[in-house]
Amino acid sequence: MDWSEHISPDAADIAHMAKEAIAGLPQPYRAAAAEVTLRVEDFAPEPILDEMRIADAFDLTGLYDGIPLIEKSVMDQPDGPDTIWLFRRPILDEWAARGDVALGDLVAHVFVHELAHHFGWSDEDIARIDRWWE
């Protein structure tokens, strides 16, 4: 295949795929999921990698930054909105390495995994909601 006419998906494409994943969520979660801020960057910023002690930026595909709903209190003074970060280049790298999953499915999986932190879902909850491996 001649790849000279193809470009990789940009941040807007990845964001669109993540937002499409919201439609696949069970009804009680759709509206709340849509309220979470979504940021797509090529890689995690260095301070985040340093804080998480991650040496290789390709090892982090997504991140939830916020206070999970099950832990929120009216007394909380948040620094900013609850945010899900998706890191485009590590996602594309994982997608290429796997070769067995559609990119939209992988983006949805990473997004839902980070959304699980927001909702306070258990691994069992995630497995019921995100059956991307099927």
Note whether residue 57 is domain-resident: yes
Instruction: Write out the H or E segment, with its range, that includes residue 79.
Output: none
Note whether residue 122 is domain-resident: yes
Q: What does the block give as tokens for 8?
A: 């990789």
Note whether residue 3 is domain-resident: no
Q: Please report, for the domain that includes residue 84, its CATH number.
A: 3.30.2010.20
Q: What is the pLDDT of residue 130?
A: 65
Note whether residue 71 is domain-resident: no
Q: What is the pTM of this model?
A: 0.85
Note whether residue 1 is domain-resident: no
What pLDDT tens digit does each residue of the chain (134 aa) get?
566 677 889 999 999 999 998 888 888 788 888 889 999 999 999 999 999 999 999 999 999 998 777 777 666 666 778 899 999 999 999 999 998 899 999 999 999 889 988 877 777 777 676 655 45
Give which of 62, 66, 43, 57 is closest to 130, Cα–Cα. Answer: 62
Residue 84 lies in domain: 8-66+80-129
Note whether residue 2 is domain-resident: no
Phi, psi of 14 (to 5 degrees): -65, -45
Residue 41 C-beta-side C-alpha neighbours within 13 Å: 14
Note whether residue 72 is domain-resident: no
Q: What is the pLDDT of residue 78?
A: 64
Note whether residue 73 is domain-resident: no
- How many distinct structural domains can be found in the chain? 1
